[in-house]
Amino acid sequence: IARKDISFYLADLSKKIANEFHFKSVFYWVPENTEYAKAYSVFDNSVDELNPMEDSLIQDLWLVVLETRQPFTRKIVSNENMQEVGMTVIPIPEATEIPIGMLICIFDGSNCGAHQHTSILQVIAQDIAMILHSFRFTNQLEYRVSKQERFHLAREIHDGLAQNLAYLKIQTAQM
């Protein structure tokens, strides 16, 4: 699975979710201190409206996700234009139901949020979790294969070099 392919797929998915459910924007967040952090750069599809979201707000949302493991909606005042915006946060669950990230949907303050769409957004979050797992598995597999190939190459070089040196030693001894 190429990083570029996943990036395009998830960027397209977030646009489709935003258009279908009339959100201002949709983005994914994965904590930096997890094994999924390497994949996070793939999902950096945030748009201008999201940039004002401070790290402290993201961390607060993440704490709620870890504690409740349930979707929730919040309203905040945007730093940019002082308008009220809402956000629906959907946990991205592992197979054990422990969240590994969040799907964050931003909507106008006048919009009622994503309450009627929560179940479909949870299914989408589960699909994102499967994509993250397959990405992680693919990276691990690629690492193991390259490590094994380096080992075999080193063995071939060592064995071939040892034979050549032994041959040269015999040849020089016969001179």
**Which strand (E) or helix (H) includes residue 59?**
helix 55-68
pLDDT, tens digit (0-9, with 9 covering 90-100), for 113-141: 667 788 899 999 998 888 888 877 887 88
Q: Which two tokens stand for residue 89?
A: 């946060």
Q: Is the pLDDT of residue 14 over 80?
A: yes
Q: Is 71 exposed, middle or buried, given 0-12, 13-18 or 19+ CB atoms closer than 10 A?
A: buried
Q: What is the pLDDT of residue 33?
A: 61
126, 93 contact by CB (below 8 A): yes
Residue/partner pairs of 135-138 with CB below 8 Å, 24 or more apart? 135/1, 135/3, 135/6, 135/39, 135/42, 136/35, 136/36, 136/38, 136/39, 138/1
pLDDT, tens digit (0-9, with 9 covering 90-100), for 69-101: 999 988 877 666 677 888 889 999 987 778 988
143 phi and psi, to 5 degrees? -65, -45
Q: Is the pLDDT of residue 47 over 50?
A: no
Would the pTM of this model clear 0.75, i.e. be above it? Answer: no
Local confidence band at 55 (pLDDT 50, 70, 90 cut-offs): confident
Q: Which two tokens stand for residue 120?
A: 């479909």
